[in-house]
Structures are given as C-alpha cells and as structure tokens.
Amino acid sequence: MKCLVNAGLLLSLTLLGGDVRLAADEPERPLVAYVGTFSSPLHDPLPTQVDLPEGNGRGIHIFYVDRTTGNLTPAGEFPLGTSPSHLAVNAAGTRLYSANETDHVGPDKHGTISSFAIDPADGSLKQLNTVGSGGAGPTYVSLHPSGRYLLVANYFGGSVAVLPVEEDGSLGEAVDVKNDAGEIGPTKATNAPEGSFAFSGHDRTHAHMIQSDPSGQYVLHVDLGLDRIFVWRFDASTGKLTAGEHHEVALPPGDGPRHFSFHPNGRWLYSIQEEGSTIVLLDYDAKRGKLTQRQTLSSLPPGYAGSNFCSEILVSDDGKFVYAGNRLHDSISVFAVGAEGELAFIENQWTRGDYPRSFEFTPSGDLLYSCNQRADNLAIFKVDTNSGMLYFTEQYVPVGNPSCIVFLDLAK
C-alpha cells in the first residue's frame, strides 16, 4: 500500500508542475519500418542486378513510424547493393532476413540471403551472415512457424529452398532445394483484360512466393511460369520437403500466379495472378494439404481494358477484407469477404505512384503503405477498418525503388 500511495503522490506532483519525474516518462520505444529496395551495386561491386536499370535504392532503409499520422522519419540505412527486395522479421522481433535479388554472385549463378540482428532499443541492424539462396534471383523469404527454417523462392532460378536458422539467428546452407519442372504456360493469359499485352514470366519456371500454412505441416509455393500452386509436406526435424497426395493445383493457362494470402481461419486461400489480373479463392483442407478452386474474379474495376500486372494480395487481420495490387493500372482494389469466403468488389484506390510492387499494414491495421517501385516513393493511406476503404493521407516518403515494407513494434 505504501508504494501505491507514493506513486500517487509522485503523479500528483507531476500534474502540479513539480520537478519530480516518473520512470514512465522515458520515451516510448518506436514502431520501426524496414523498406527493402532494388539497389545499385555501389557497396557490393560483384553482384549483377536483375531488375534493370540498376536500382535507385541504397539497400535496407529504416524509419520510425508516427503511430497516429503514419509519417515516417528516417532512422538509418543498411547499405546493400544486392537488391534486398523482400524482407521478413522473425516472431520474436530479434532478427531480419533479406532476399537479395541478384542473378549471380561472382561466377556462381545464384542469389543470396542475408541475416541481421535487430537492436532492441532502436531497431538498427547488424549483419550476421550471407549465404547462397539455392537459385538465381531470390524474390521471397518467409519463416516457418517453428522459427527454425527460412523458406526461399528463387524467381530466376525456378527453385525453392529451405535454409536452417542457427541458434544465433544466422543462416546455414540449404538443407533442401526443389527445382520446378513442367510445361510452361502460354504467353497470353486466359483471363487477361481485353487488349492486354501483359507478359512477364512465361518463358521458363519462376518460383515467386513460398510460405507455410498456419499449422506448419505443409509449405506452399507458386510458380508463375508453370501456372501452378505446389503443396509440400514439411518435416520440421530435417527441413525436407516432400510431395504429398495433393501436390499441385493448376490455375488457368498463362494467368501466372504470383502471391497468395491465407484467411485468418486457415480454410480459405486467395491467389493473385500477375498476367491474368485475377484473384482465385481456394478452399484449403489443412489435414490433407489440399486446395480446391471455388471463385475467380478480376482484380481490376469493372470495364478496364489494356495491360496490367498484379502484385500483392493481403487479407486484413480481422478477415473482413482482401486487398489486391495492380501495376500499370497503379491501384489497390478492395474486396469484402462473404460468409463463405467469396469476394465482392468494394472500391479501387489509386496508389499515387507508378508500379505498386507491394503494400503492407501497420500492426494496428489502420495504416497501409504502398511501395511504388518506379515512382521512388511510399504512399501512406488511412484504413477504415469498418468499411475496408482506403484514404490517402497526402503523405509521400521518398525511397529509391521500394519493393517491400515490414514493421516491428519495439514497444511490445
């Protein structure tokens, strides 16, 4: 009781303008944003860039986020010339991993993955190590729910890899690599908008995304060139991937699956097709690792004609809305999720910049940041969590060729 009384007296003195200060007056630890970019080889002279012309970014850009307005304040950079185009933070918030989207390092035809320790006080980065990605042009990384493995999709190598995470957070050499194979889809997408000339990856195999299902028992990845989603059984003791009974699902020829997002209930998966400009709803049987297609609709507003390349797809944390990115149309479409997972179009919001490669919500879900790759900026939107609609905040943040943004709340 004495401690409580003293605390109350201290608070009263503070409110009365006294000089006594509470320990709670210490500055709030920041919400940090890490932005991956396509970068020039200013700091890493060996790698050759795969996203030509050479990128305008300087590696990984670090910002502090105003939790109310969304404004970003620069807090440093980690220079990398290897185009760290995709980032992932571990569940504990202590390590960050980057997919360095190069097509070769020195004489070797592969890209690299880097690991970083995160300073818990200010979010700054210290590089732990860099290892081979198991293929050329790694474009996506995600952590297995166990935290013991990093999953990698190599776009230009057409392969996926599993890298062990060591006790200190550094990465070991790949314990498994799977090379995609099969019949390449046509250069004309089945469901492309009228007048579309969209062609990006139907020249060979292109693994574009890899992620575990919520249970960790299966790992899914897409290959854009093969128009396939693959489902692998995952052995958490060895990191090995094995084909299961329902190993693959074929999407419409030429449509080019790029990314997918699970609904929070784990039973619905939404896949976005880069060249077909479509979203496909699939039912997911977690016990058998089986996907079944149920709904297909356009990612674009009604009446659109011409070329478009889809990019990101995200489900809101409450499961009420799905957000789909469109490049060339330069927009994010918003869909309501029905009682059975089906989608209904709500609105289409201009991203205020060219070629929105990806976007992400803050942990609170009320702000969204669009990485406008060719406009060299981030555009900040308020999210109406009741309607799902986006409202531009009139705020831009300059970043050269931004590709990916992830957040870490150091206050938690």
- Tens digits of residue pLDDT in 361-379: 999 999 999 999 999 999 9
Instruction: Please write the tens of the pLDDT for every residue from 318-335.
Output: 999 999 999 999 999 999
Mean pLDDT of 402-410: 98
Measured from the Cβ of residue 360, the count of other Cβ atoms closer than 10 Å reads 18
pLDDT given for residue 28 in this prediction: 80
**Is residue 244 included in any domain, yes or no?**
yes
**Is residue 321 included in any domain, yes or no?**
yes
pLDDT given for residue 179 in this prediction: 98
pLDDT given for residue 102 in this prediction: 81
**Is residue 297 included in any domain, yes or no?**
yes
Answer yes or no: is pLDDT of 4 > 70: no
Mean pLDDT of 109-117: 92
pLDDT given for residue 44 in this prediction: 56
Domain count, the chain: 1
Q: Tell me which of 5 and 118 has the higher pLDDT.
A: 118
For residue 349, the one-letter residue type is Q
Mean pLDDT of 38-64: 72
pLDDT given for residue 103 in this prediction: 76
Answer yes or no: is pLDDT of 241 > 60: yes
**Is residue 192 included in any domain, yes or no?**
yes
In this prediction, residue 26 has a pLDDT band, given cuts at 50, 70 and 90, of: low
Smallest CA-to-CA distance from 405 within 325, 336, 350, 328 is with 325
Mean pLDDT of 291-298: 98
Q: Tell me which of 28 and 406 has the higher pLDDT.
A: 406
Answer yes or no: is pLDDT of 3 > 70: no
Answer yes or no: is pLDDT of 39 > 70: yes
Mean pLDDT of 77-87: 94
pLDDT given for residue 7 in this prediction: 39
Q: What CATH number did the domain enclosing 266 receive? A: 2.130.10.10
pLDDT given for residue 51 in this prediction: 41
Mean pLDDT of 70-86: 95
Cα-based angle 88, 93, 411 (whole degrees, multiple of 5): 130
In this prediction, residue 42 has a pLDDT band, given cuts at 50, 70 and 90, of: low
Instruction: Please write the tens of the pLDDT for every residue from 383-405.
Output: 999 999 999 999 999 999 999 99
Average pLDDT over all residues of the chain? 91
Mean pLDDT of 148-160: 97
pLDDT given for residue 54 in this prediction: 77
**Is residue 124 included in any domain, yes or no?**
no
pLDDT given for residue 154 in this prediction: 97
Query: What percent of the chain stands above pLDDT 70?
Result: 89
Mean pLDDT of 132-152: 97
Cα-based angle 252, 257, 261 (whole degrees, multiple of 5): 120
pLDDT given for residue 81 in this prediction: 87
Exposed/middle/buried for residue 18 (C-beta within 10 Å: 0-12, 13-18, 19+)? exposed
Answer yes or no: is pLDDT of 151 > 50: yes
Distance of alpha carbon 129 from the chain centroid: 22
pLDDT given for residue 104 in this prediction: 67
Smallest CA-to-CA distance from 148 within 213, 87, 95 is with 95
Q: In what order do the strands lie in the sheet with 377-383?
A: 356-361, 367-372, 377-383, 390-398
State how far the Cα of 335 lies from the Cα of 76, in Å rounded to an integer.
36
Indicate the DSSP class of residue 374.
Answer: G
**Is residue 178 included in any domain, yes or no?**
no
Do the Cβ atoms of 357 and 342 come closer than 8 Å?
no
Q: Which domain holds residue 198?
A: 186-350
Length of the chain as a residue count: 412
Q: Which sign does the torsion angle of CA 53, 56, 60, 66 carry?
A: negative
Do the Cβ atoms of 312 and 327 come closer than 8 Å?
no
State how far the Cα of 55 lies from the Cα of 52, in Å rounded to an integer.
7
For residue 81, the one-letter residue type is G
In this prediction, residue 85 has a pLDDT band, given cuts at 50, 70 and 90, of: very high
Answer yes or no: is pLDDT of 5 > 70: no
In this prediction, residue 110 has a pLDDT band, given cuts at 50, 70 and 90, of: confident
Answer yes or no: is pLDDT of 18 > 50: no
State how far the Cα of 372 lies from the Cα of 355, in Å rounded to an integer.
5
Which letter, b or e, does each residue of 84-121 get, where b requires 16 or more Cβ atoms within 10 Å of its Cβ? Answer: bbbbbbbeebebbbbbbbbbbbeeeebbbbbbbbbeee
**Is residue 197 included in any domain, yes or no?**
yes
**Is residue 310 included in any domain, yes or no?**
yes
